[in-house]
């Protein structure tokens, strides 16, 4: 089964008089259970591509099938629903809410999903336990290290049982030892939970923990190759 099918995806940003052609016709199929890295220089369109895959933004042209369903013509509310049900996000800067304890941060996607209070707490604790952060449930993000915050962010990403996780430079703010620990958690998401993972990174050694490497340049795919011996971060 396919997780993501992109057919000739284009994205144009209108900046007053000028148009920026951020994606110039991207075609790509990612099957369920894959773990894919996207690399490319700054400004090549990686974030734009991830935003479209994540239903955060709509393509200017082309067709996007998410789990077999054409989502390229859905409106903002419909996209928000799909996002909440099926996609988890992990960011470089963790994006946790500093005024709320860890448990509340992890529960957040469930609030939008309308889950009851008791079930929210149970599921958030389960997700925190899975990333090894249950004992920090009552801490605040500011009391945690970068690696711990990213674990919490991963718990938040998986609390809705998504079929797809999109990670934008998930190790970009971490030292190399902590980066490997986080990659190990992401590999477990992929292998133990069978979640499809698409990760943007500019670090080649991090990309080589994925099983497939896609190179983007100037809004186009320059290369798409399997990784011969993907690293095992466990």
Residues near ligand ADP, by CB under 6 A: 13, 15, 20, 22, 40, 42-48, 168
The nearest distance, CB 23 to ligand ADP, in angstroms, is 8
Dist. CA 50–CA 46, nearest whole Å: 6
Q: From residue 123, give the alpha-carbon distance in Å to each of 6, 91, 110, 130, 167.
A: 32, 21, 9, 11, 21
The nearest distance, CB 195 to ligand ADP, in angstroms, is 22
Q: 3-state SS of the chain: helix, strand, coil percent to 5? A: 35, 30, 35
- Measured at the CA of 190, the angle between CA 184 and CA 195, to 5 degrees, comes to 145
Is the CB of 45 or the CB of 88 nearer to ligand ADP?
45
Is the CB of 43 or the CB of 132 nearer to ligand ADP?
43
The nearest distance, CB 166 to ligand ADP, in angstroms, is 12
- Which residues, listed in sequence order, are joined to residue 167 by a DSSP beta bridge? 90, 199
Helices (H), the chain: 46-53, 76-86, 102-113, 117-130, 146-158, 176-193, 204-207
Is the CB of 168 or the CB of 197 nearer to ligand ADP?
168
The nearest distance, CB 57 to ligand ADP, in angstroms, is 8
The nearest distance, CB 193 to ligand ADP, in angstroms, is 25
Dist. CA 110–CA 117, nearest whole Å: 9
Dist. CA 29–CA 167, nearest whole Å: 18
Dist. CA 85–CA 89, nearest whole Å: 12
Is the CB of 123 or the CB of 168 nearer to ligand ADP?
168
The nearest distance, CB 106 to ligand ADP, in angstroms, is 23
Is the CB of 46 or the CB of 156 nearer to ligand ADP?
46
Quick one: which of 228, 229, 221 has its CA closest to 27?
Answer: 221
Is the CB of 54 or the CB of 168 nearer to ligand ADP?
168
């Amino acid at each position: 089964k396919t997780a993501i099918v992109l057919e000739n995806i284009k994205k144009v940003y209108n900046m007053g008089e000028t148009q920026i052609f951020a994606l110039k016709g991207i075609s790509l199929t990612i099957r369920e259970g894959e773990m894919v890295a996207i690399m490319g220089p700054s400004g090549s369109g990686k974030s734009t591509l991830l935003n479209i895959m994540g239903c955060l933004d709509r393509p200017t042209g082309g067709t996007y099938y998410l789990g077999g369903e054409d989502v390229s013509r859905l409106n903002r509310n419909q996209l928000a629903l799909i996002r909440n049900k099926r996609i988890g996000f992990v960011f470089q800067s963790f994006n946790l809410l500093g005024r709320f304890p860890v448990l509340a941060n992890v529960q957040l996607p469930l609030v939008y999903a309308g889950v009851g209070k008791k079930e929210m707490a149970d599921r958030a604790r389960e997700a925190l336990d899975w990333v090894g952060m249950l004992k920090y449930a009552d801490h605040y993000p500011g009391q945690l290290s970068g690696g711990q915050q990213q674990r919490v962010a991963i718990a938040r990403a998986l609390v809705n049982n998504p079929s797809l996780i999109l990670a934008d430079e998930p190790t970009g703010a971490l030292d190399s030892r902590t980066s490997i620990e986080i990659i190990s958690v992401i590999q477990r998401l992929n292998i133990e939970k069978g979640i499809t993972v698409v990760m943007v990174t500019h670090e080649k050694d991090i990309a080589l923990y994925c099983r497939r490497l896609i190179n983007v340049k100037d809004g186009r795919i320059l290369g798409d190759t399997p990784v011969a011996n993907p690293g095992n971060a466990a």
